[in-house]
Amino acid sequence: MTNKAPRVLIVGDGLAGCLVAWELHRRGCGFKVWSDGSPAASDVAAGMFNPVSFKRILPQWNAREQQDAARARYEWIGEQLGETLWRDVPIVRIFPNEEYAERWKERAAGGHGVSPFIEPFDSSQLHPSIFAPYGAGLVPDAGWVNVVAMTSASRVKWQSLARWERRSWKMTDGCPEGFDAVVDCRGTGAVKDLSEFGLELRRNHGEVLRVKPDQDWGDRIVNNVTWALPLGDGTYRVGSTYRWDVHEPLCLDETPAQLVEGSAKARSGNGAMEVLEHRAGLRPTCFDRRPILGMVSNQHPYYHACVGWGTRGVSIGPTVVRWTVEALMGERQAVPDEVHPKRFRTFTEN
């Protein structure tokens, strides 16, 4: 595919399909987006970007490189759509115990890989609504992207350019006439097809709420395992659940009470909150929390996967899309080994 720009079919119009379309549009390549209307994980995504893994207080995979690339790409897409997509909102991480607080303090002091991303936080600076008996730390370089606004506005744009259709696709359909390549952005919809090549894409069920508390919760994201993200209109997105035993995007009856209880533990007083929305989705993820990218079969050289983004899709998306498109265009021999299908021991390239 090095002699001319290929005409590309993008399957799926969630976050992955949206970013692939914009990458091809930026390059002046011909493409169409097909979507069968299935629920996408990005339809319910909080859109948060966070360079820190809170469980072990470590930097996320290639955090600085990927976050810088993400900011540039989302701001550019926002300019094209006339939307403000990228929102800088620091995260207040509430410490669960004294040991965690000491580890945070040590790493924030410098000399650790996570040091550039975290800061100590004086308790006197905490919003009065926050309850943090062991203290809290700050992640200044965090925030969220309005994924729903981006995907919906992009869909309208591609429709106006006759580049979007309500159609389904699966591997047995092959490469449709008029296209040179297919980029699979179906998320969990690709599970069955990828399994034929020994590739396991897992379904991680998650639910989020939009709530309106009867007191002000401040203008920062607060994380105490459950997180609350301010939307700027007096409401907050609260999440999220993580389950591997639910394989449909179902809103479970017990979830609102669980998430409300979790967020309430981070707040002083006994203020009530009204649940305005309850949404569910299936996150496509891999065993090592990295995506599946690029060619998966010599017999189907037209097919390029771009799936398995998991919970960090907003942060890694622009980078992994660039790798995918560069491989598709022949600008690089293959995607990096760390996201190549060959890292799966069960992979059968046939």
Instruction: Look at residue 2 in the predicted model and tell me its pLDDT.
Output: 46
What's the average model confidence in pLDDT over 89-117? Answer: 97
Identify which of 162, 158, 133, 139 has the alpha carbon closest to the alpha carbon of residue 266: 133
Instruction: Look at residue 123 in the predicted model and tell me its pLDDT.
Output: 86
Q: Domain extents for the chain?
A: 8-46+147-201+287-343, 91-140, 203-283
Instruction: Provide the H-helix boundaries in the chain.
Output: 15-27, 63-81, 98-108, 147-160, 191-195, 255-264, 313-328
Q: Which token pair is 44?
A: 């319910």
Neighbour tally for 104: CB within 10 Å: 25
Neighbour tally for 53: CB within 10 Å: 15
What's the average model confidence in pLDDT over 33-54? Answer: 89
Identify which of 292, 310, 267 has the alpha carbon closest to the alpha carbon of residue 92: 267
Specify the fold of 8-46+147-201+287-343.
Answer: FAD/NAD(P)-binding domain (3.50.50)
- Distances in Å between the Cα of 347 and the Cα atoms of 88, 297, 313, 344 are 39, 10, 23, 5
Identify which of 18, 315, 37 has the alpha carbon closest to the alpha carbon of residue 150: 18
Give the contacts of 257 (CB within 8 A, at least 6 positions apart): none
Confidence of residue 43 (pLDDT cuts 50, 70, 90): confident
- φ, ψ for residue 189 (rounded to 5)? -65, -15
Reported as a single tens digit per residue, the pLDDT across 267-280 is 987 678 999 999 99
Confidence of residue 158 (pLDDT cuts 50, 70, 90): very high
Homologous superfamily (CATH) of 203-283 is: D-Amino Acid Oxidase, subunit A, domain 2 (3.30.9.10)
First to last CA, the chain: 20
